[in-house]
Structure 1
Amino acid sequence: MMNQRQILLGLVLTFTAVGLALAQDKFPNKPVTVVVPQAAGGANDAIARVIAQKLSEQMGQPFVIDNRTGAGGNVGTTAVARAKADGYTLMVTADSAMVINLSLYQSTGFDPIKDFDPVGTVATAGYVLVANPSFPAKNTTELIALAKQQPGKINIGSAGNGTLNHLIGEMLSKAAGIDMVHVPYKASSAAVTDLVAGQVQVSVQSLPSSIAFIRSGKVKVLGVINPKRLPALPDVPTIGETIKGFGTTPWYGMFVPAGTPKHIVTQLNAEIAKALESKDVLDRLAGVGCEPYKSTSEQFANLVRDDLSRWAKIVKTSGATID
């Protein structure tokens, strides 16, 4: 028969084993990589850093940003699609990379539906049409009039072929019946730099990419891309006030590789929702011209499917393609 000491030792070993198993099951129990498929300094990068810092505080492990750029977001997105589905590789990305690229590229390297599980939306960003301060037009109406007088003479900079600000510029040109010359850059920051220097006259930019230049007077705002006026720029009219029906609201959200355990997806969604109720997160998002955007995983999945269809039509109409 076992003596008391053996029984106690057995209980200690049993509880130790249970404790180790629970510790291993706890998520996260090591640093988490947050892939951002866009360059540092843009809207998605700014939003990802705000949410990653808060998740680190809430969940007790570092959430480390990894900017993996290239091919309009396809490089980083493909890397996440092929990552281990254990919750330790996440992606915070823009709608452009996830739902627009499929219609632009012959091959993206990933399937936005089959290769990912949506966790939840994080934020929306304000987008604006900005100009060099010396540009004659003061608003969208004057830009359209000037462009019609000088077809093919106004340069519009973007973060690159097929990027969201490129496509929004194409949408604007088509809706207004004007012809502007597209000048692609490798990142939003490069486009803004040349806009300030006067190398291009106008550009579509996210507020996170341009708000510092707007506040300092280095660029001026001609109109708001979003359907509603922005809290950060309440006196600036939307382009939709000039061109009826024009406008879009870019979103940013978190995804994990397909097959990630459901309880991890649910936990991350709940932690994002908690973070988006925090005053410091709300203040930081507002500071870069963004607003919180909460959703369930199911609502986000439906949004992705709807936007894949919507943007496919917009891309086809614009005629934009990338080899």
Structure 2
Amino acid sequence: MAGRHSRCWTRPARRLCRPRRQGPACFVVEPKPGAGGEVAAKHIMGTPADGYNLLVTGSSITIRAASNEKNADGLRDLQPIAQITTTPYVIVAKAGKFKTFKNLIDQAKPSGSKIDFASAGVGTGMHYLGELINISAGTHMVHVPYSTGSRQLQAVMAGDVDIAIISLVTAWPYISAGTMEALAVSSAERSAVATGVPTLHELGLRDVPAIGAWIAVFGPKNMDPAVTKSLADEITAIAKSPATQETVKGWAAELPDTSTAALTDVVRSETEFWKKLIKERNLPVAD
């Protein structure tokens, strides 16, 4: 498993720890952070394709594959099983600092302005969103990478950086508590939870693509199709339960189409999208 957002799914997913096939089976959650999920992905690539070794990872897998062919590719090297949550990125600041996205942009436009933004690392979707805002709005925000979302938020609260671009799931406890202000979300439509937060498109940045974060389950390449289907069906059943839907809503996330076909399409389209965008906009990539 890669990352905090991925770990959010583990509680409802433990319903998978029940008799399956010929005997009892229990999934043990084994965090393997590092290199934006690459460590976990490479680990799963080297395990048996028996349905007992699974990867829970995020949308960064498509960016990594797009930026470096040596990185794990969600289609070439892994078996997509099911997407389980989606959430937009959100631009947040300490409560009262900017109040509106327009105020942020106005302060960040002058050359030599001291506005900076935190992301979870070079070559992440959060980093790229900040650079795309700079291009679209004509701002000069400076990127400051952090290793985790929690460190981004700590930096904002301490005044070390002006804003963070982060998943809504990670920032939601601070937003709902009123200690941070949400200035904009990156999705095409407003979040079903944070309904009062405008989208970047609403705010005039229509050439900034609607991007966000998601979590999905993958297995090793060459899994038995019947095993893949069984796992996808199990995940779909969990996702449809009222308890799971209420839990996911509390995270400020949403439940997508959980079919294997849908995840396959998402991975394919996003990988191609990032390849094109990185090349066209000359975006920096992680080492």
TM-aligned CA deviation for residue 54 of structure 1: 3.3
Name the structure 2 match of 1:37: 2
Do 2:122 and 2:286's aligned partners in 1 also have CA atoms closer than 8 Å? yes
1:111 matched to 2:95? The reply is no
TM-aligned CA deviation for residue 50 of structure 1: 4.0
The number of residue pairs the alignment matches comes to 281
Instruction: State TM-score, norm by structure 1.
Output: 0.81
Do 1:167 and 1:318's aligned partners in 2 also have CA atoms closer than 8 Å? no
Q: Which of the two has greater helix per residue?
A: 1
Name the structure 2 match of 1:121: 83
RMSD: 1.9
In the alignment, the residues of structure 2 paired with residue 165 and residue 69 of structure 1 have an alpha-carbon distance, to the nearest angstrom, of: 18
1:145 matched to 2:88? The reply is no
Q: Which residue, 235, 252, 269 being the options, matches 2:215?
A: 252
Name the structure 1 match of 2:242: 279
Name the structure 2 match of 1:27: none
1:186 matched to 2:161? The reply is no
1:319 matched to 2:283? The reply is yes
Q: Which residue, 234, 239, 250 being the options, matches 2:200?
A: 239
Which amino acid is the alignment partner of residue 284 of structure 1? T
Name the structure 1 match of 2:28: 64
Name the structure 1 match of 2:52: 88
Q: 1:221 to 1:151 in 2, by over 3 A?
A: farther
1:158 matched to 2:119? The reply is yes
1:98-118 CA distances to partner (integer Å, 9 max, x unpaired)? 21012334732x333221111
Secondary structure at 1:240 match in 2: coil
TM-aligned CA deviation for residue 294 of structure 1: 2.0
Do 1:128 and 1:205's aligned partners in 2 also have CA atoms closer than 8 Å? yes
Instruction: State TM-score, norm by structure 2.
Output: 0.91
Name the structure 1 match of 2:137: 176
Percent identical residues? 28
In the alignment, the residues of structure 2 paired with residue 183 and residue 259 of structure 1 have an alpha-carbon distance, to the nearest angstrom, of: 40
Which amino acid is the alignment partner of residue 116 of structure 2? N
Do 2:121 and 2:147's aligned partners in 1 also have CA atoms closer than 8 Å? yes
In the alignment, the residues of structure 2 paired with residue 291 and residue 168 of structure 1 have an alpha-carbon distance, to the nearest angstrom, of: 20
Unaligned runs of 5+ in 1: 1-35
Which structure has the bigger radius of gyration? Answer: 1
In the alignment, the residues of structure 2 paired with residue 72 and residue 152 of structure 1 have an alpha-carbon distance, to the nearest angstrom, of: 30
Name the structure 2 match of 1:265: 228
TM-aligned CA deviation for residue 277 of structure 1: 0.8
Do 1:127 and 1:225's aligned partners in 2 also have CA atoms closer than 8 Å? yes
In the alignment, the residues of structure 2 paired with residue 301 and residue 87 of structure 1 have an alpha-carbon distance, to the nearest angstrom, of: 18
Secondary structure at 1:114 match in 2: coil
Do 1:50 and 1:284's aligned partners in 2 also have CA atoms closer than 8 Å? no
Unaligned runs of 5+ in 2: none
1:102 matched to 2:65? The reply is yes
In the alignment, the residues of structure 2 paired with residue 229 and residue 104 of structure 1 have an alpha-carbon distance, to the nearest angstrom, of: 29
In the alignment, the residues of structure 2 paired with residue 57 and residue 126 of structure 1 have an alpha-carbon distance, to the nearest angstrom, of: 33
